Every structure is written in C-alpha cells, then in structure tokens.
Structure 1
Amino acid sequence: MKKFDKERVLLAVAGPVIALVAAVALTSIVLLASGKNPFEPYSLMLEQATYSDIQVLIINQASMYYIAALAVAIGFRMNLFNIGVDGQYRLAAMMTAVVGAHLALPSFLQIPALMLVAMLTGAMWAGIAGVLKVTRGVSEVVATIMLNAIATSVIGYLTLSDKFGVQLGNNMTTGVMKKSGWFPGINLGSDVGEIYGLVFLAILMGVLYWLVLNRTRFGFDLRATGASETAAAASGVDAKKMVLTAMLISGAVAGLSGLPLLLGDAHTYSLTFPTGLGFTAITIALLGRNSPVGIAFAALLIAFLDKASPALDYATPVAYEKEIATIMQGLIVFAVVISYEAVRVWGLRRQQKQVGEELAAAAANNNSPKEVAAR
C-alpha cells in the first residue's frame, strides 16, 4: 500500500475512533459527577453482547439502522440534509402494512409488491421536499422537518377506525398482514430468537450503494454535484435534476428501512412501531462517514447501545440508568463533528507541509514548481 493510501486510511479511521473515545470519556465524567462507577456500565453492556439472544436483537436492529443510514448518506453525498427519513420510513411502513392487510397474492409476488409500495411511498414523501427545493428554493432541512410532522398526522388519520385502523386489544393497528407477505427469517431457537430475513437486503443495499456511487456515471455525477454544483453544471450535469433524483432515491431507501421489522416480526403497523429511527440514522451516517462499511460498524455500535443498555436498570448492587446509552449517542454526535473537523484540518496542514517540502527540495535541485506539480 502506498504512503498516500496509508494516510488516507488513517484519516478515515481517526475521526470515528476519536469520536468514540471522546464520547466514552465524556460519559464517564457524567457518571463520576453523579457519584457512579465510570467503568462498570461498559463492562455490564459488553457482557450483554456475549448472550446469543442479545446478539440477535442487535443484528435485527442494526439492519434497520443500516438501511435508514444509507438513505441519509445518499443525501449527504449530494450535499443534502434529508432529516425527514423518520417520517418517510414511518409513512412507508404504515402504507405497506395497509396494502399487506388487504392484498392477497402468492409470496413471490406479494413481497416484491410490498417492497415496491414502501419504496414509492418513501420516494413520494421525500420528493415533495425535492420539488420544493428545485422549484422554490426551499431548504430541504425545513421542508423535511415539516413533512415529518405532517407524516405523523397522516398516519394518525389513516389509522382511525373508520379508515384503515383495526383495534387489536388495547392497540390501534392497521390489521394483520396476509401471511404471503411475511418474510421468513433464520430461527435460532426459542431461547435465542429469529434473525430477520431482510437482514440480507440490508447487506445487498450496502453493496449496491458502493457500486452505484463508485462505479457508475450516475454516482460520479451525484458526488460531483454534491461537491460543487457550479463545476458539475459546467461539465454538463443538470444540478436540479440531480437534487430531485437524490431526494427520490433517498426517500425510496428510507421507505425500505422499516420492512425488516414489519415483514419479519410485527406484521402490522401500530402506535408501538419504533419512532426516531431516522434521527438515529443521521448519527450513524455521520459516524460511518457515508461509507457502507463504516455505516455497518456504526449501526452495530448504536444497536449494541440500544439493546445492551436495558441491563443497566437491573444491575446489582447499584443500578444504572439506561439513559447512559442515550447520553453516549448524543455525545457521539458532538464528538463526531468536532473530531472530523480536527482531522480535516490536520490532514490539510499535513498536505500543505508536504507540498512545501517538495517545493523546497525542487528549489534546491533547481527544478521549477511546475515540474514538482507534474510529478
């Protein structure tokens, strides 16, 4: 591996590592300030990760986080902040559940149809923000935040009993989906649980994300437009079209993020369906630096914090608040922003120093700066 490549890898890894270490250190300070042991919570959570049932929960949760984070990352690559992934994912899950409860097709048709409904719903909801941005100049941040709130109201309206709502016990749901739409998983036994079958969809989407961004003309245009709309336009790229396309794709991916749970376990949409997934995905995309591999590790980390932290409530002789994990997640966001900027500045200064050394060497050898640049 060349020296340049080694430095690039170092810069890529340094940001998340510094962020994680800083988050742990700051969380330990919070624990000390509250009179608690600053190390025991981590050992308790790490112990939870050794149990098979917790591992299954982590993998299942990470699959949803991963898909949602890919949706966020697509926007980031385009220099768009799609903060509406949560609304897109929930509305898509609700519409998919409604269709799944009323449509009865063979499994090989039912499951693709449900996935298509989820993608179209998510794309449509994100597309509203995209259209507003390219036609009226409305910030996608403002538009998607408002659309999150509207999605909540739309879901509440459509799940009324005189619409698509079905009362199951004390919970208002969309009704149980037809079994032909249930996606089989990997059953590891009653004591361990079942890994969602759509975990493999998350893996496939990660591979497709990398291939499209790095091996296609569309991916190049998307990254070029995100880096500089003016430069991209000068090379013949329609910046507005790319913005709208990126929002549509981001929304379509977001729509799929709820399907591992919906088709693999819940089989209905209800008031207990997870919320906040899209906001957690922003943290994961940032921590993973928009890389499919980095996002995978970040998704597993955040899923681990989610599923291992409840054990803190039952620790003996001193119980710890499970909100410690939430504090860590929040601190990770701050640490990510600060550490990435610090690493970027350090890398820039290092490059400037290397150029200065090469220019000095060129002057000593009577070479012109143009000859140095040509090398």
Structure 2
Amino acid sequence: MKKRLLILFIIIFSINTYGQKVIHKPDCIYSNISGEIEKVELTEKETILHFHVRKPRGGWIYIPSATYIESSLTNEGRLYVIKGEGVGVAEKYYLSRTAEIRYKLYFPALRKDVKEINYDESNSRGNKFIYKLDVSKNGYSFRSSKWRNMREHLDSKNKSSINNRDKQLGEVKTGKSDGDVFPEDLPKAFFGNWYDKYGTLILITTPEYIVSDFRIRYYRSIQKIGNNKFKIETTANSFEILSLDNENMIIRTDKLSSLKKKPSNNRSEFIKGNWVHKNRISKLTVTDDFFYFYDKTSENTLGSKKKRIDHVAESKSDDVIWYILYNQGEFSIYIANKINGEYVLSPRGQMETKYKKIKK
C-alpha cells in the first residue's frame, strides 16, 4: 500500500512540476520583434509567452488573431493565440505615456517533446516573428553578461547566415559562469524594504522587481561573487551587495551605502476609502487588496478597472507611503504624500494627477 502511495505521489509531483515549468529569457536564433521574450510558462493546458516590447512613445502594438506558435522541427500543428493580457488580440494598443510595455499572450499547450518553437504574428503589413525559440531550458542572455554581449555582437553581423549563427551560438553557450543565479535564488533576507539612517526608503526588493530612484527596475543578470555577496544588473543600473543579513545590508553603486530593513506594512488603514481627483474628473477606491479606478461616467460601483496591491512601503514615519500595483502583466507605482496634515495620492511621475480622500 505504501509503495502504491509513493508511486502516486511521484506521478502527481511530476505532473505539477511540468505544470509549473518556466523558461527564463529563452534563447532564439533570430527575432525581429522590438523587444524580447522575458519568460515562457509551460502548463498542461496552455503556453504563455511574456513579452517586453519597446517602441517610440505614441507608437502602437497590434496582435493579429492569426498569430501562432509551432514546433520549429516539424513546422506543422500551428497553435493560434487564445487571448492577450496587457495587450488585447486584434486590438491596437497605443503607447501614449510610455515607450515600453510588458504583456502576455496565451496559446494552447505544446507537446512535451517540443524543444524549439517559431512565433509568427501573420501580419500582412510586415510579419513579426521569432525563429527557433528554445523552450527546453533557461536562456544564457539572462545568466551571463558575457553571453549577452556576445549575442549582440553576433546579431550585428549581417553577413552571417542563420546556419552559421546557430553554430556560433552553440559555441558561445559554453561560456556560462557557475556564479550566475536567478532572482528567486537570492537569499530571502534580501527581499523587503530598505532604508538609510534617516529613515528614507531607498530600495524595495522582490523576486519580480526592484524599486530604486522612484522607478520600477527589472532584473537583467545576477552573479554571486561571494558568501551573501552578489552583483545585480537591472534594466537601469547595477549595484553590488557587499554584506547581507536579516536586518542590514551594505551595497555599492558609485558609493557605499549602509541600509537597514524594516518590516513591510502591507495595509495602511488610514489610506483605505474613497478618493476623488482634484478636478473631480475621476475617482478611485482603496481597499485591503485593490485600487479600483473609475471616471465620472462609470456606473460600476467597484470601478471600471482595478489593480492589485502587490507591495506597500512607508518612508519617513508615514509621511510617504509607496504602493506597488499590478494589473495584466504590468507593475506601477502610486504614492501617498502627507501635505499640510492630509494625504494626496498620485501615480508616480504624474504630479498633475492628484487625488484627495473623501471625508465621511
């Protein structure tokens, strides 16, 4: 009986392991999309591609309904896009406030024996495609800056054929450093809210992102350089962790900084409630778990759009409260500032958009 239960447990564990398989920064032979695939999720029911695309502000993204993925080996059995998250299918998405966006596309599940896939948007005005995206293992572009620099060098050689490039990439892959790790492999002590000696919030660190200089940064590469010592490169900057324990951390950027960690205040009770725009053109409601947004024409009492509260941090004795929000593959920041004894709530970088709490 025990043997049967053990076999059943192994089978269930194997299914769950496959269902949770995630490929980080997958390699490919060629791509002409304006960005990259950050990760691929493989489950029993679906295949999810996570895109990070950069375009000039004012540009747009369009995902045709005929967009598909297929096995690179057989070039058959096309799997067409089911839905988009962050960017809809067969809908133009305009980049009005930013020059980059993260979104997800959902496809039917791949066969377990598929190692490489092609991606094609099937756009009659000019196809966007990815050739031989490796969905069998994590990519080296994330794990090694040496690999990334070499990859860019190879991509710049227009004279190289796809076959030659495939051979070159195979040779470069042997240069991976054993010190490279993923965000989830960092010590748990690293994740949290970090302050300087004056009580000012300097860093918010999570396995998904880092907040520094008032902006959300995403991991590019992490290298272990010693015991609890790491070199971290983000989408905007890099720094080194020189020492780390549960409450203290010393980092080096252009200077040394000694930081102290404080527990996260996940729920600020006095922020919860209804807020109205200074010009009364819109309002929002803050609850334990969500920000609900709705304009003056919305009849939905819970708002026409909601963003989940992912993280909360306070700075300088509650004078500033940071809210990291998540919606459809994208993180954003709202900040509550105490001005003349009252809080004003604003999205980061949009000081003209101010909300004041409605008093009961």
TM bracket, shorter-chain basis: under 0.3
**Which protein, 1 or 2, shows the higher relative CO under an 8 Å CA cutoff with sep ≥ 6?**
1
Q: Which has the higher helix share?
A: 1
Query: TM-score if structure 1 supplies the norm length?
Result: 0.24
Query: TM-score if structure 2 supplies the norm length?
Result: 0.25
Q: Which has the higher strand share?
A: 2
